[in-house]
Amino acid sequence: MVSTSERRSHRGGRRRGGRARGGRRRGPSRRAPTTAGDVVRGVFRTIGELMFTAGLVMLLFAAFQVYGKQFETDKEQDQLAKGLESQWEKGPDSKPLPGSANSRMYIPSLDLDWVVVNGVEQEDIKYSPGHYPYTADAGQKGNYSVAGHRTPGIFWDLDRLRDGDDIVLEDAENFYTYKVVEDEVITPDQMRVVAPDPFADGADPFDKAQRKTADKAMLTLTTCHPKLQNAHRYIVHAELAETRSKDKGMPDNIADMAPEEGAMAEKKGE
C-alpha cells in the first residue's frame, strides 16, 4: 500500500522553481537582427518628426507675423492719433512729412478706423495706411489714394466692402463721406488705379494735366491680393457723396466710432 506522502511525491505537475514536465525551457529573449530596411525606416521616421516640428515652428512664426503685430499696430496708431490732433491744431500751413499723420479714415461696415500717414514706402505704412503723395487731398477733385498692408488691423478684410458702403475721411476741417462704387484685382504695375480718373483712357497718376481736369472727387484703396501674398493688388474705388463741416459734429454713420483720444470736433463741443 502506498502512503499518502508517496502518492503526493509521484503526482505530476509544475514543480516550484522548475519547469513544467514536457515543456520547453525558456532561454534568454532574442531580438531579430537589424536589417537595412529597419535602418531606412528609422531614418525616414526621424526626418518626418523633424519636418513636423519645423513646420509647426514655421506655422507659429507665421501666425505671429500676421496676428501678433496687431498689438504693435494699435500702439502706433495711438501715437499717430496724438500727432494728428497736434498737427491740426497748428493749422493747414504745417508741412506734412513722410510717415507723419495725414488724416483719419473710418470704414463703418468693418468697424475700423485708422490714422492715415503721408507716403507709401514700406517704412511709412508699417503700422498704418499711407496716402500716395502725388494724389489729391481729402475731399478734393481727383483721386485721394491710400495703400495699406493686407494684415489684421489694416486692410485684411478690405474685400468685404460692397458697393454703396461708406468710407469716411476726416481732416482738420471736414468729414468726407465716400460711397464704394467698384472693386477690382490688378497686377502691381497697373498704376492707373491711382490716377485722377482711374477709369479714363490713358489714366496716368503723374500727368499734371489730368489732375487739373479731374471733374469728380474719388477715393481709392489698394492692398495686396490674395491674403499673405503679393502677386496682385486688390482695389476699392469710391466717390465723394457728402462733405460735412466738423462744426456740425461727426456724421451719423461714424458717430459711435469716435477714437478714444476724441475727434477734434468733439473736443471743441465739450
Is 232 labeled as catalytic in the residue annotation?
no
Kindly name the residue from 224, 225, 232, 237 that is annotated as catalytic: 224
Are 211 and 190 within 8 A, CB to CB? no
Kindly name the residue from 131, 149, 225, 237 that is annotated as catalytic: 149
Cα 73 to Cα 190: distance, rounded to the nearest angstrom = 28
| 89: nearest Cα among 169, 172, 176, 174 | 172
Cα 101 to Cα 247: distance, rounded to the nearest angstrom = 22
| 92: nearest Cα among 106, 102, 104 | 102
Are 244 and 175 within 8 A, CB to CB? yes
Cβ neighbours of residue 95 closer than 8 Å, sequence gap 6 or more? none
Are 205 and 189 within 8 A, CB to CB? no
Q: How many CB atoms lie within 10 A of CB 31?
A: 5
Is 10 labeled as catalytic in the residue annotation?
no
Cβ neighbours of residue 123 closer than 8 Å, sequence gap 6 or more? 99
Cβ neighbours of residue 172 closer than 8 Å, sequence gap 6 or more? 87, 88, 91, 92, 246, 264
Angle among Cα 216, 221, 226 to the nearest 5 degrees reads: 145
The catalytic residues are: 149, 224
